[in-house]
Structure 1
């Protein structure tokens, strides 16, 4: 494979590609060749080039990983697909939903793997969360509440939703069963520092099952919080990504209604609410580097001829929510149905 981009994220892809037995890194491509050489070190046998065409023309390169600005994702990924290469793309998949759809269709037409680098989905905690949801241990999904706030880097070209929410939305997409999807989105944002884009935002998602998800993202918080609460009819699980000794806590606690479900509205007061208070269990998780697991999944999807766990379609679903959120912001927080153009 070849990695394109030796800036912020590229070196992480390089390191994990070189540590994945099923991959062999052949090229690191960057407009600044000296920077690429510094990333690889003095004794590396990996080639460096500033020519993307050289990579596309190399018959030994079967796959390309892109760690370049979002605006370049579509042309570079499409060129790689046209050259018969499998493609891994840093989030977001593209800078527009229409371009993303073209990429997904191109990969499908050519029988190639198109994968989106939704790294959090490959953490041990999220892998366990997915198991709990898909195997029914939480029961019917009632709510998801996610908080991702810190005194972060205020981006010059995107708002806080496009910067931070893709992490939470990709995790939510990965956790939901295929029978449940996001139907509509409402977004509220604020720019108290006069930056020109929303610096803090609240995102509400209505799911097809009747459940609701909520995402809070913020660049301006003096404290860093990374939590997600997933409530079900049987159990509720809390993920605290900043607590390495207890990332997950599964609570056998909740609210239950006792009485007839068929009572008229005027007689609802006859229904008794009971509170279930059971044990809390903290599952033991195997610590692993998420990016290493993601690279292994990319290689496995290629060798097995199957879609990756976070394939191009997963990237499209996340982008669909973000574009609907942008329309909601322009409409003062009104709910916007997914898949409906302005």
Structure 2
């Protein structure tokens, strides 16, 4: 990988005899591709991430790039992606372009030996996503998806509580993401909003629990030519259900997620900065069958648990800064990032299953646990045949 090393200025440091010298700070050369809606946020956070050194902003509209860069006079703008890839200082590329361009750009960057951070969805087809995962694996490169919500303090805490067993077995996942939003010209509401909730679901589910089926219902009450309101249900391998409601037509904005467990229930209200997360020690308990007498074995004994509610203290942080920090750390430590290419592939697989379910009138579309491995293996075989 190509990195720029920032050395101390002459005269700032005098070596001490017998004391090992600290290693100079290594900063990974970065280029951002795309100066549209999300690109400026990547530029700003890259400039404020200690492990990264931004060299380029690439966009077909160079004037737009210059406006975005503004005060960042050390960062160059260009319309040539080839020029970016040819720069040996650039070890990593962050791509924030329309999804239709992701595969071509990510593929070229990986082939050039660059680590890649790419906006969601990773690509528009599962076959292309599997191919990118294959290339990254073969070349030992980091391929990371910017599933931004997974890097918020609240979702990180939710993941800790679920994976640590504090809520017990996951029984349900219910999310609502609705507002009076912009009707997109090229995608329906599922592809616009559901990737957020599906990436969160993928991130927080405990090991061994995974989606096995997807069904979706959608409606277009305003005649936009695509679903503007949709309900998505994911069946999980442990028998639980995950449900997502996404809507462009709601006059009020709602961002809530409930995750019910056998011991506790988590309630996340993202529009309540004073108490984004609440942990409720209340729910339904079922007497185990082996503790029932023969006389009442034919019916279950249900009791209701009413305990305390706790709102954990969370430090407010900009999620995208954590994304950039994780990207730099994964490259430096030569490890997979928390939201790697495979997580992007899993989310994309659920989106395609949801679209297929819409076509089938809401029928459940199965998703197998081994599908990702089969896709990557197939991509490897296709590459070998070329």
Q: Structure 1-normalised TM-score?
A: 0.97
Deviation at 1:269, TM superposition (A): 6.3
Asked if the contact 1:147/1:215 (under 8 Å) is kept, the reply is yes
1:336 aligns to 2:365 (yes or no): yes
1:24 aligns to 2:53 (yes or no): yes
1:283 aligns to 2:302 (yes or no): no
Deviation at 1:338, TM superposition (A): 1.2
2:82 matched to which residue of 1? 53
SS at match of 1:24: strand
Equivalent position to 1:161, from 160, 167, 190: 190
1:220 aligns to 2:249 (yes or no): yes
Structure 2 residue runs without a partner (length 5+): 1-29, 375-386
Q: Kindly report which structure 2 residues correspond to 1:1-342, keeping only aligned pairs within 5 A, or say none.
A: 1-42=30-71, 44-258=73-287, 260=289, 270-339=299-368
SS at match of 1:278: strand
Structure 2 CA distance for aligned equivalents of residues 325 and 267 of structure 1: 43
Structure 1 CA distance for aligned equivalents of residues 260 and 62 of structure 2: 49
Structure 1 CA distance for aligned equivalents of residues 287 and 109 of structure 2: 59
Structure 2 CA distance for aligned equivalents of residues 156 and 230 of structure 1: 33
Say what the alpha-carbon RMSD is for the aligned residues: 1.8
SS at match of 2:53: coil
SS at match of 2:305: strand
SS at match of 2:93: strand
Structure 1 CA distance for aligned equivalents of residues 289 and 58 of structure 2: 66
Structure 1 CA distance for aligned equivalents of residues 297 and 186 of structure 2: 51
Aligned residues: 341
Which digits, 9 at most, give the CA deviation of each residue in 1:142-190, with x for residues without a partner?
0000000000011011010000000000000000123111000010101
Deviation at 1:259, TM superposition (A): 5.9
SS at match of 1:228: strand
Q: Which has more radius of gyration?
A: 2
Structure 2 CA distance for aligned equivalents of residues 21 and 43 of structure 1: 16
Deviation at 1:271, TM superposition (A): 2.8
In structure 2, the CA distance between the partners of 1:269 and 1:220, relative to structure 1 (3 Å rule), is: farther
Structure 2 CA distance for aligned equivalents of residues 172 and 270 of structure 1: 34
SS at match of 1:25: strand
SS at match of 2:52: coil
SS at match of 1:216: strand
Moved more, 145-154 or 40-49: 40-49
Which digits, 9 at most, give the CA deviation of each residue in 1:279-305, with x for residues without a partner?
000000010000000000000000011
